[in-house]
Structure 1
Amino acid sequence: MKKLHVLFLFIMMIAVTVTSCDDEPLEGVFSVTGDGSDPDAIDPDSEECQTAFDVLAVTQATFSGATASNYAQACEAYSIALQATIAVCGDSSGELQSMLTSLGDCSTADPCLQARVATNVALAAFSNASSDNEEQLCVAYSNALSAQIAACGDADGNIQLTIDSLNCGGDCAAAQEATLVAQEEFNAVDTEDEDALIAACQIYTAALEEEIAACGDEDGSLTAILEDLGDCSSPARDGFVQGTVGGEFINFNTTNVSINGSLLSVVSTDMDRGDTFKFDIVLEQTGDNVMQNTILTVGGVVHTPSIEATTPFVNNITANDGTTIVGTFSGAFTNSDDEEVLTVDGVINIVY
C-alpha cells in the first residue's frame, strides 16, 4: 500500500507539472526510482513497476466508463498513468506509447477509443478469471466486444469472429443459443412451404433435445414444445384440397377459383410438389357427382377419373354458395397408359 501511495503522489506531481506548463510535453530527465539512480535502468519486474500497472489499470477502467462530463478528467488521469508506467517500466512493445498518442489532448471524447479500452479491461479480467467467475467475466468480455462493434464498426469481421468463438456458458449456453436460432428460423418459415417447414421443425426439435441434454428441463417447458411439434410430419396447414393419392398424402395448399357465368373453374396446387387438382362445377349445385372435367396431375402425369374401375371415382358436394365449396371425393384415376391411381379420403374445403 505504501508503494501504491507513493506512485499516486508521483502521478499527481506529474499532473501538476503538466497543468502548470499549459499542456506542453514533459521535458528533461526525471528520477523515479526513489534513490536517485539512473531511471534508464528499468526493471519491469520491480515492485514499483507492478504498482505502476496497478494504478494504470484503475485509470484505464475509469477512462473506459467515463461520461461526457468527466471525460477530460478521466482521460488526463489515464494519460498521466501511462506516462508514469512508461517511465517506471519501459515500453519495449510500444503499446503504451501508442495508447498515449491515441488519447491526444483529451479535449474531445472518443467513444471508439473508450470502447477499445473497455474491451482491453474486460479481456484482462477474463484472462485472469477463476473457475468461480469465468462465465461472468466471459460474458462481460463478449458484451464489451459487442459495444466496440457498435462504437467502432467491424469492417473485417474479426471482432464478431472473436465473439462467436467464445463459449461463455459452456455446453448449456451454446445449446440455448442454438435452440434460439432454430426457433427463429422455424417461426420465419412460410407455413405453406411444407418441405421447408418440416426441415425447420426437425432442426428445432434436435436443438431442443440437445438443450435438454445439456441444461435439463426442470419446469418441463422444453418437453412441452417438443410434444407440440410432434414428429414434424404433419402438413404445414390444412390445404383447400387434401387426399391420399396412390398411398401418399397430398396437401393442395393453394387454390384459384375463376368464374365464367355460372361455371366455377377450380385449380388447387401443392406448391411444394407442383401437383394439381382441377375441376369445374356449376355455381350453387350440390349433391353427388356434380364435379365436371376433373383432372389430377401427379408427378407431371395427367390422370382423369375412372367410373368403370373397381373403385370408381365419386364425389359429393355439400356446400357451393358463391363463397365456399365443401365436399369429399375418392376413387380411381387413370393416365394415358391406362395406369390406375387410387384416391382415398379426399376433402374439399375451399374459401374464395
Structure 2
Amino acid sequence: MGAVTWRAVGHAFPGPVGLAGWIAATVPAPLVFFEATHRWEEDQPASTSFWWTLGALPVLTAVAAARWTGNAGRQRRLSGLAAAVVVASLVGTVFVLASVAVHRFVIPLDGAIEWRLVRSGVPPLAVAGAVVGWLLALRDRDGSRARMAARHGLAIGAAAAVLGAVLAPATVRLGAEDSTGQYDMTEYGGVGPYAAGGREPGELSLPAADRYAIMAMGFAPQNPECRVAGGAGQPERPADRVAIPPADYGGDFATYAWVATFTVPDPGTYSLTCRSSDHQASYVVTRIPPIRGAVGEMIHWPEAVISALGTVPGLLIIADAVRRRARRR
C-alpha cells in the first residue's frame, strides 16, 4: 500500500464526533440506562453492557466506510465496495477491542463477555454497516454532508463538552457500584440515631490494623466531616472523603454510600464523630468495598478532574471545527 492509500486508511477512522459518539454509546449509556430501568440492588453484568457496543458497531463502520470511499475515490465497482468493507471492518475491530479493554481493566462489570457472541456478531454487523456507509458515500458526490458537519462542529462540540462534564462523574460512580465484588456489610460501629443509639461520638470496635470505610446510611449527606479518635498515642485525625461516593450498598434495611475512609494502626476501640447538614444523619464503619479495575481509584480523584476529562471529546470536536474553518479560509 502506498503513502496515499495509508493516508486514506487514516482518514477512514471516525473523527472527533465519531469518537465522542462511540464513547457515549459504549460507556455511560449502558450504565445510566441500567440504573434507570432496574432495581437499585441489581448490578449490571458485562454481557448486557456489551450489547451496546454491538449496537454501535454498524454505525461506526458505516462512518468509516463513507470516509474511506470519500477519500479514496467513489468507486462503484465491486473492488471499491470490497476495499470499503475491509477498511471499515478493521476500524471497527480496533474500536471493539478498545471497548473490551475498558470492560476488563477500567470498569470490569460482573460476569464475562460472551466471546461466542463477539465472534458471531461482530463480522456481520461490521459488514452491514460498511455496505450502508459505502452506498451513502456514493450518493454524497459533492461532500455536502461533511461540509454540513463542519459548519455545526462548534455547536456539537460545545454540547458534547457540557454533556461529558455532567456524565463523567456519574459514569465513574455507577461503574464503581457495578464493579464491586462480593461485599460483606459487617458494621463495626458508627454515629447517629440509627447507628449508635444516639450517642455522640459513636464507638467503633475495629478488629485489625487496616483501612476502613465510612458509609452514609439512607439519605444522609454524602459530604460529612468525619474524625476518628483513639488508639495508643494517636491524635484525633480527619477521615479522607471519597470524591465521587459510590452508593447502592446494603440490603433491605437500608442503602449505604461510601463517603470517607480512614486507617488505624492497631486493633481496638475508637470513636467517630461526623458533622453534616443533617443533624439526624447516621454513618457506620465497614470494610472497604472491593471495587475492581481502575474505576476503584478514579472515585478518589477530584470530581473537577473527572469532569474535565469528560469534556475532552467535545473539546476535540471544537478544535477540529476550528481547524477546518481555518483551512477553508
TM-score bracket for this pair, using the shorter chain length: under 0.3
Report which of the two structures shows the higher radius of gyration computed on alpha carbons: 1
The structure whose RCO (Cα within 8 Å, separation 6+) is larger is: 2
TM-score of the aligned structures, taking structure 1 as reference length? 0.23
The structure carrying a bigger strand percent of its residues is 1
TM-score of the aligned structures, taking structure 2 as reference length? 0.24
